[in-house]
Amino acid sequence: MDEEKFYEMFIQLQKAQSEQFGQILEKMEGGKSVVAESGEKQSTDLYCKLKMLITEFQADIEKGITFESWYAKNKSYFEVDAQSLAEKVRVRLLVEKLGRVEYAKMSQKMLPEKLEEMNFESLVGVLKKEFSDPRSKLVKRFEVMKMRCPSVEKILDFGTLVNSECEKANMDLTVEECKILVFIAGIPEKALDVRQISLKFVEKYAKSEVCTLKDLMEEVRSYLSNKSEAKMFDSQSKVKSGPKEFVEVNAVSRIEHSRSRQSKRSRIKSRQKERQVESRQCYNCGIVGHISRNCRKPMKGFKRAIVQK
């Protein structure tokens, strides 16, 4: 076999191999595209399924519906079932389950950052902080201490409620915390200001170190003493300002009193005059009880009887 024929055979063999290799590549690429398409379809189906299963979040703090309680209920959907989804898809799923009011509030608050561009853990943390119960741990515990069963028929329901509220308020208390709670809960309703002062003091104190009942009682004692001193000062200031306020009143009363005395004197004088007139004899008619100028009979001479002494 000469060299030319051998070279031609070699070229043909290379072409055949290249064609076979190209066909193999096409099959491999086609398989990858099919796998990708099937994976995208599975993700879409899973997304739609989770979207139907997860309820919409609408915050109602008064009824205890916080984001933390809502997320705890749906946590398995996001962290287990949606684990195969990309993080952006999970974020989009969480954002879509926010209520209209909640989404509008968070969108405005997080500007210029968009909710859809945040990572999943950061978004969950922000939502927990925003839609949480604003009451402190102490206030929650205090509210639990005030709970009462409404009726005998609802004792078992009350027990269920106590269990739930104690878990929410984290009632794993120390001895001092129990003392403080019993003390604050026992303060009468009339001393509402003392109760508020106590709650504020314990909340501020707890940030630095542990508060004891003795510390709280010292604070209450100081507050009550300051309050009593303020009342004494207020009463003294009213006593000092009293004469100035009563000057005009006393002057008016003196004037009225003098007027009444004058009228009384005038009445007495008029009565005395009337008595004098009643005892006098008329020169005209001789009748006792009036004088001649007031006499109604015609004027005539009358000789007054002489009274012998």
Residue with tokens 């940030």: 207
- pLDDT for 34 equals 43
Chain centroid to CA 199: how far? 14
> Does residue 57 sit in helix, strand or coil?
strand
- pLDDT for 257 equals 57
Report the percentage of the chain scoring pLDDT > 70.
63
- pLDDT for 36 equals 46
pTM value?
0.46
Please check whether residue 175 is in contact with residue 212, taking contact to mean a CB–CB distance below 8 angstroms. Answer: no
- pLDDT for 32 equals 47
Report the distance separating Cα 135 and Cα 170, nearest Å. Answer: 13
- 126: how many CB neighbours lie within 10 A of its CB? 16
Backbone dihedral angles phi then psi of residue 40, each to the nearest 5 degrees: -65, -40
Determine the residue type at 187. Answer: I
Please check whether residue 198 is in contact with residue 219, taking contact to mean a CB–CB distance below 8 angstroms. Answer: yes
**Ramachandran area for residue 113 (φ above 0: left; ψ -120 to 50: alpha; else beta):** beta
The ranges assigned to domains in the chain are 54-130, 137-238, 244-294
Tokens of 194: 């003392």
Extract the residue ranges of the chain whose pLDDT is less than 50.
32-36, 245-247, 249, 302, 305, 307-309
